[in-house]
Amino acid sequence: MIPLHRLTHPNEPPLYINPDLIQTVEATPDTVVTLTNASKLVVIETPAEVRGLIGDWRASIILRALEGRELADNAGIGQVVHLTSRADTSA
């Protein structure tokens, strides 16, 4: 989730948005974020800042996945085990 601040409430805690639900980000001149359900949010962040937040969020997910893979490899978890079919084992 990325933190965005509503234009009408800039000093309140941020609103956390799932970037996968963002359809468009426009500068009109205020930044308008349109979600896939047609909801619109006017935020204080610029479109470039929103894009940066989305990129950072996606990179953090990839990093966590890679770190998880390293932990699994070090623990011996997640190794590929080739199974044989019953026909192969009956011989």
**Mean pLDDT on 13-42:** 97
**Is residue 89 in some structural domain?**
no
In this predicted structure, what is the pLDDT of residue 22?
98
**Is residue 88 in some structural domain?**
no
Does the pLDDT value for residue 29 go beyond 60?
yes
In this predicted structure, what is the pLDDT of residue 77?
58
Domain residue limits at 59: 2-78
Other beta carbons within 10 angstroms of residue 45's beta carbon come to 19
Domain total for the chain?
1
Q: How far apart are CA 79 and CA 55, in angstroms?
A: 31
Question: Greatest CA separation found in the chain?
Answer: 75
Beta bridge partners of 41: 33
In this predicted structure, what is the pLDDT of residue 67?
84
**Is residue 87 in some structural domain?**
no
In this predicted structure, what is the pLDDT of residue 68?
76
Does the pLDDT value for residue 9 go beyond 70?
yes
Beta bridge partners of 33: 25, 41
For residue range 36-91, list pLDDT tens digits in order.
Answer: 999 999 999 999 999 999 999 999 999 988 887 766 666 665 566 677 766 655 55
Q: Which residues contact 4 (CB under 8 A, 6 or more apart)?
A: 14, 15, 16, 17, 33, 41, 43, 45, 50, 53
